[in-house]
Amino acid sequence: MLKYVKKYWLFCLLAPLFMVGEVAMDLIQPDMMADIVDNGVLKSDIALIISMGVKMILTVLVGGFCGVMCGVFANIAAQGFGNDLRKDLFSRIMNLSFQQTDKFSTGSLVTRLTNDVTQVQNMVMMMVRSLVRNGVMFLGGIFMLYQQSPKFALVAACGLPFVVFFAVFFLKKTAPLFSIVQKKLDGINHIMQETVAGARVVKAYVKEEYELGRFDEANDALCAENLRVQSLLAFMSPCMNIVLNLCVVAVIIVGGYTVQTGGSITPGNTMAAITYLAQILHGVTFMANIFQTFSRAKASAERINEVLNSPEVITGGQHDGATAAKGAIEFRNVSFAYPGSEAENVLRNISFRVEPGETLGIIGATASGKSTLVHLIPRFYDATEGEVLVDGVNVKDYDLTALREKIAIVLQKAELYSRSIADNISWAKNDATPWEIKKAAEIAQADDFICGKSGGYYTPVTEGGHSLSGGQKQRISIARALLKEHEILIFDDSTSALDLKTEAALYQALREECPDVTKIIIAQRIASIKGADRIAVLDDGGLSAIGTHEELMQQSEIYQDIYRSQLQEGGEA
C-alpha cells in the first residue's frame, strides 16, 4: 500500500506539519488561561485580562487556520490514495481469469472494491491527521503538565498504565473480528447481487419471501457480528473515562492541598493541569479508537492485497498476432477439467482442424462440453492437456490482447449495458461510424426492429437489457461482434431466441458479407447448423463424429437420433 501513499508524499508531509501547528495553539491556551486566573482575575488586573484575551483569540484563529489546511491536505492525500487504489484494484479484477473470479465471488469483489478500500482510505486520513494530533497532544500535554508542576505529571503517570491496559485489552479482543465482519458483508453483497440480477426469476417463482429470508439471515449475521465488536468496544471508553475522572480528582486534591499549605502551585496552575490532563488522557483514548480503525483497515488491506497479489493464471506470450494464415483453428489431443474440480475431464482427447473461412457447426447433448470447447480458443480457460492453435500458433504463445483481437464471440447470455442501442453495438469499436453500426445491425437482422423504435438507434437500453426481448438482445449482441474487426467468429448458442426464418436470414447475410471469416456455431437445433461446411458432434466430452450433414446422417447414430427427435417427431416442424 505504501506505493500509493508515496505519490502524495508532499501532502502527507504538509498535513502533519499544520496539525502540529494546530495542536501547539491548543497547548498554549490552558497556560494562558492560568495566567489570566492568577495574574488577572485574582489580582483584578483588567488590562492583563483584555490583552491575554486578545492573544487567546489570535491563538484560536491561527490554530483554526492550521486545522483547515491540515484537513485540506489530508483529504487530498487520502482521496487520491483511495482513487488510485480503487482504479488499480478494478483493473486487476478486470484481468482476473474466470477461475479466479469464481473463487472470490462477485459479492466479495464488490465489497473489496467499495467498503474495504474506504476502510484503508480512512486509515490514511487517520495517519496523517488524527494520529499526529493525538500523538503530539499526548507528548505536548505531558510536557506542559510537568511545566505546571511535577506533582501533576506524577498523577498522570499513575493513570496512564491503566488507560494503556484497557486499550490493548479491548483492541486485542476485537481485532480478529473485523475480518469476520467483512466476510459477513461479502455474504450480503453476494445475495443482493444474485437477487437483483435474477429478479424476474424470483418473481416468476414467487420466491420473494424465500429471498427475503436469505437476506434477513445474512443481515442478522452481520448485525450480530457488528454488535459483538461494538459491545466489546463499548466497555473501553467507560473504563478509560473512570481512570480520567480519578486522575482529575487526584489533581484537584493535590492542587487544593498545595494551595492551602502555601506551596508553589496556584489555582491557575490547577485549572491548567486539569485541562492538560484531560488532553493527555483523551489523546490516549482517541489513539485507542485510531488503533481500532487500523485493525479494521488491516483486515481490509489484507483482503485487497489478496486480489492485487493474486497470481496471473492466464499469462500472455510474446506473439503479436501477425500470421500468414487468417482464421485457422486446430485442436490437438485437447483435454480439459475445470480448476479445482475433482470430477473427470469435461473434454477428452479432442482433435480437429477448421480451415480459414470455413464454417463449423457444433452440436451435442446438454453438458457435452460445447461451450467449454470454444472457451479454450480465446483462453478464457487453458487446456489441461494438448494444444489449441490459432493460425498455426499455440494460443498460449500469443499476447492475450493480440489473440482476442482476432476473435469475436457472442456468448449464450446476451450482455447489454445501460446506454443507447448504438452505444451497445459500438462498444466493440469506439470509432465506429453510424454507417458501420447500421451495417452490422443489418447483417444481424436487427435494423428493422431498431428503426421501429421511437428513438431508433438512440433508444436507451435498461439495465441488463430488460427493455428488449431475448431475440432482440441476441441480435444486438451479434451486431456488436460483427462490428469488431475479427478473423474468427464464434456463436455460443447465441441464436437460440431467434425464429428459424430470422436465423436463416442471419446466416445467409454472414455468408455474403463475411465469406473469409472462420465461423464456429454452437447450436441445439440441427436446422441452425445444417448448412455449415462441417458439423462436429460432441458426446460426453468427446468428439463423436465430424463431417457434413449428409455424411453424419450416414455415419453418426447420435446425430441421427438428434435429427429424428427434432425433425421427424415435430420438434422443428
CA atoms within 13 A on the CB side of 435: 0
From 426, 445, 421, select the one nearest 436 (Cα to Cα): 426
Q: Do residues 298 and 340 lie in contact, with contact meaning Cβ atoms separated by under 8 Å?
A: no
Using DSSP bridges, classify how beta strands 393-394 and 385-390 pair: parallel, antiparallel or unpaired. antiparallel
- pLDDT of residue 203 exceeding 80: no
C-alpha cell at 266: 496556584
The partner residues of 409 in beta bridges, in order of sequence, read 490
Residue 293 has a pLDDT of 78
State which H helix or E strand residue 109 sits in: helix 106-111
Q: How confident is the model at residue 325 (pLDDT cuts 50, 70, 90)?
A: confident
Cβ contacts of residue 272 below 8 Å, gap of 6+? 30, 31, 33, 34, 144, 148
Least confident of 78-82, 233-237, 481-485, 536-540: 233-237
Per-residue pLDDT band for 573 (boundaries 50, 70, 90) equals very low
Query: In the prediction, which pLDDT does 339 show?
Result: 77
Q: Residue 189 carries which side chain, given as an amino acid letter?
A: N
pLDDT, residue 568, reads: 57
CB 513 within 8 A of CB 486: no
**Residue-level pLDDT at 343:** 62
Does residue 54 register a pLDDT over 50?
yes
Percent of the chain with pLDDT over 90: 31
Output the CA torsion sign for 440, 445, 447, 450.
negative
Which pLDDT score, from 0 to 100, does residue 109 have? 86
Number of C-beta neighbours around residue 341 at 10 A: 9
Using the predicted structure, report yes or no on whether residue 259 has a pLDDT greater than 80.
no
Helices (H) and strands (E) in the chain, counts: 22, 10
The CA-CA-CA angle for residues 413, 512, 536, to 5°, reads 55
Strands 518-522, 488-492: pairing is: parallel
* Torsion angles phi and psi, residue 150, rounded to 5: -60, -25
In order, the DSSP letters of 532-567 are SSEEEEEETTEEEEEE-HHHHHHH-HHHHHHHIIII
Strands 329-336 and 518-522: unpaired
Which of the four pLDDT bands, split at 50, 70 and 90, describes residue 535? very high
Lookup: cell for 302 = 489484507
Mean pLDDT in the chain?
Answer: 85
Contact criterion met (CB below 8 Å) for 59 and 31: no
Instruction: Lowest mean pLDDT of 56-65, 206-215, 249-258, name the range.
Output: 249-258
Range in 36-40, 321-325, 358-362 with the lowest mean pLDDT: 36-40
**CA separation (Å) from 480 to 359, 419, 440, 454, 509?**
20, 14, 7, 21, 15
With H, G, I as helix, E, B as strand and everything else as coil, classify residue 520.
strand
205 has pLDDT over 80:
no
164 or 297, which is more confident: 297
Cell of 502: 430470422
Residue of 484, 556, 562, 568 lying closest to 523 (CA atoms): 562
Separation of alpha carbons 359 and 352, rounded Å: 13
Say if residue 493's pLDDT is above 50: yes
Nearest to 369 by CA among 324, 331, 421, 319: 331
The 8-class DSSP code of residue 349 comes to: E
pLDDT for position 437: 93
CA angle (393, 399, 402) in 5-degree steps: 85
- Enumerate domains of the chain plus CATH numbers: 2-308 (1.20.1560.10), 319-406+488-496+519-573 (3.40.50.300), 412-485 (3.40.50.300)
**163 close to 49: Cβ distance less than 8 angstroms:** no
Q: Select the more confidently predicted residue: 167 or 437.
A: 437
- What is the rounded distance in angstroms from the CA atom of residue 308 to the CA atom of residue 211? 32
* The pLDDT of residue 387 is above 90: yes
Rounded to two decimals, what is the model's pTM? 0.72
Give the rounded percent of residues in the chain with a pLDDT score beyond 70.
Answer: 96
Strands 407-410 vs 359-364: parallel, antiparallel or unpaired: unpaired
Residue type, 127: M
Check residues 164 and 336 and name the one with the higher pLDDT: 336
Residue appearing with cell numbers 459500438: 426
**Dihedral, CA of residue 376, residue 379, residue 381 and residue 383, to nearest 10:** 50
Q: Which element (helix H / strand E) includes 181?
A: helix 177-197
- Higher per-residue pLDDT: 318 or 134: 318
Grid coordinates representing 52 are 491575554
Task: Quote the pLDDT of residue 303.
Answer: 87
Retrieve residue 388's grid coordinates. 489449441
- Rounded distance, CA 481 to CA 392, Å? 23
**pLDDT band of 571, cuts 50, 70, 90:** very low
Q: What are the grid coordinates assigned to 356, written together? A: 480459414
Residue 44: pLDDT band with limits 50, 70, 90: confident
Q: Which residues contact 484 (CB under 8 A, 6 or more apart)?
A: 408, 428, 429
pLDDT of 341 > 70? The answer is no
* Residue found by looking up cell 458479407 in the block: 513
- Helix axis angle for 150-174 and 267-308, nearest 10°, is 30
Can you give the pLDDT at residue 332?
95
CB distance 24 to 140 below 8 Å: yes
Q: Where are the beta strands (DSSP E) in 413-559?
A: 488-492, 518-522, 534-539, 542-547
Closest CA to 203 of 418, 466, 412: 466
d(CA 481, CA 327): 16
Most confident of 274-278, 339-343, 459-463, 515-519: 515-519
What pLDDT digit, counting tens, does each position of 96-106 carry? 888 788 778 77
Query: pLDDT digits over 27-41, tens only?
Result: 888 778 877 777 777
User: For residue 63, what are the CA distances in angstroms to 52, 53, 207, 364, 440?
Assistant: 16, 15, 59, 76, 65
- CA-to-CA distance for 520 and 388, rounded, in angstroms? 15
Is 482 or 247 the better-scoring residue by pLDDT?
A: 482
Asked if residues 506 and 444 have their Cβ atoms less than 8 Å apart, the reply is yes
Burial of 274 (0-12, 13-18, 19+ CB in 10 A): buried
Across 161-175, 346-360, 402-416, least confident range: 161-175
